[in-house]
Amino acid sequence: MAPRPVAAGDEEVGVARVAIESLYKTFPPRDRGGSGVSVLRRVDLAVADGEFLVLVGPSGCGKSTLLRAIAGLEQPTGGRIWVGDREVTALPPKARDMAMVFQSYALYPHLTVYDNLAFGLRRMGLGLDSGATSGAALGTGDRWRGWGDRALVGLTRGLPTPWRYRSPEEVQVAERVNQVAAMLQIEGLLGRLPKELSGGQKQRVALGRAIARQPSAFLMDEPLSNLDAKLRAETRSQLVQLQKRLGTTTIYVTHDQVEAMTMGDRVAVMNGGQIQQLAPPLEIYRQPANRFVAEFIGSPAINLFPVWVKAPTLLNNGDFRMTLPELWGEPLAPYDGRALLLGIRPEHWQMGLPAPKNLPVQIQRLEALGAETIAHVEPLDGSFLRSLDAGASALGSWQVRLEGDHTAPVGEQLWLSIPPERMHLFDPATGAAVRP
């Protein structure tokens, strides 16, 4: 049975700008008599005003579906969604005052960059040149003035630019577009079509279209995934700085843990349609709520192997013996005589001397990356450590992060030491973290 995910409201968040309460989403079965597909299960989330929240998880975990439900593009099966003090669960997307940035940019190919940026403003009624202003939102005088403005725009459209008529509203649109273009450094691209732009330029235009509307919240669905590694790193930094400058609530979806750790004020790790942990990035790294979070966050992944508990604080497996500080006595008491999974991240191993509390390993493969070297190691003796399954073979390899100039050859023996303050213990049945 999977551990109960940490509720997203378990910590104090300020006045929530976006709040989600017990949200469910189940897609109907394709075949008659089949069962539906549950993609979101009891999701509770509170996002503070101005916060940058990242939703991260593997493919199929429900993060994009959750974002689409917030945007109004998916109707939830159950639960409620709030923006500020308004419940928006039943409102259409256009009434939610949110702007969404998609992975594919979704630019209009026949419109210039300027018109792509201005499109949302005109639809809102800020500009009248597009003829998109809703008459229902205007008084009789405003409607007549709007029709007159559009007639003048149409009559003068073929004239040279200085002679064309521009409505007062379109002047406001131009001011907003130029302001956003300057902010994103795309002033020189305003006359181009999307096909004439690079991937990074398209991404900035898509972002600018969202910014120009000045929404109450940004919703971003993996907007950097189509960029190359160098441009993605540059844009990531620019996006964080821009969000801080604007102070707009942002919910950002990604499967990239580097983006999650470097961009978010808080990170919500999702799996199986549920939030497994919600916390600041370093807290998730240092104190994962369960085995899934520990394995998902961190690269290379955390190393895991079973140990058996002997009261009060002894961990053992074969010849391996490790005594923990006294503060571990209480959390380990229920596991006396039972197994736990011990986790240690590749960067947290230390080199040690031959001793029962240390682990003898042999280097099987080296990955020299320049700044660091990743060593793939295996326990020196296959029978030294036993697995949870008595009939299983010896445990697989572990990974150790070494200094970049480490010159140990393949086949060399190392003794690895585990700092108690760096290790993690997990219940093998539930996956829940065990900590003092």
Mean pLDDT within 286-305: 96
| Three-state secondary-structure class, residue 155 | helix
For 225-233, the CB contacts below 8 A with 24+ separation are: 225/103, 225/254, 225/255, 225/256, 226/103, 226/104, 226/105, 226/199, 227/199, 227/200, 227/203, 228/199, 231/199, 231/200
Could you list the beta-strand ranges (E) of 325-403.
339-344, 350-351, 359-368, 372-379, 398-403
Lowest mean pLDDT among 14-28, 107-121, 318-332, 345-359: 14-28
Order of all β-strands in the sheet with 52-56? 98-101, 217-221, 249-254, 52-56, 266-271, 274-279
pLDDT category at 16 given cuts 50, 70, 90 is: very low
- Angstrom distance (rounded) from CA 260 to CA 56: 7
Q: Is the peptide bond before 312 cis (omega within 30 degrees of 0)?
A: yes
Could you list the beta-strand ranges (E) of 249-311.
249-254, 266-271, 274-279, 303-310
CATH of range 300-434; options 3.40.50.10240, 3.40.50.10470, 2.40.50.140, 3.30.1180.20 = 2.40.50.140
Rounded to two decimals, the pTM is: 0.84
- Residue spans of the domains in the chain: they are 1-28+35-97+215-299, 114-196, 300-434
- Angstrom distance (rounded) from CA 214 to CA 224: 21
pLDDT in the model for residue 199: 86
Q: Is the peptide bond before 300 cis (omega within 30 degrees of 0)?
A: yes
- Angstrom distance (rounded) from CA 345 to CA 285: 10
- Angstrom distance (rounded) from CA 208 to CA 89: 27
User: Which ranges of 22-93 does DSSP label H, i.e. alpha helix?
Assistant: 63-71
pLDDT in the model for residue 389: 58
pLDDT in the model for residue 152: 78
Judged against a pLDDT cut of 80, whether residue 313 lies above it is answered with: yes
Angle at 163 between CA 160 and CA 164, to 5 degrees: 85
pLDDT in the model for residue 347: 96
The answer to whether 285 and 243 are in contact (CB under 8 A) is no
What tens digit of pLDDT does each residue of 129-170 get?
A: 433 333 344 455 555 666 777 677 667 766 776 777 777 888
pLDDT in the model for residue 185: 87
CATH of range 1-28+35-97+215-299; options 3.30.300.30, 3.30.1520.10, 3.40.50.300, 2.60.40.10 = 3.40.50.300
Q: Which residue has the tokens 């181009």?
A: 192
pLDDT category at 8 given cuts 50, 70, 90 is: very low
Query: Around Cβ 209, how many Cβ atoms within 10 Å?
Result: 24
Mean confidence (pLDDT) of the chain? 86
Q: What percent of the chain has pLDDT over 90?
A: 63
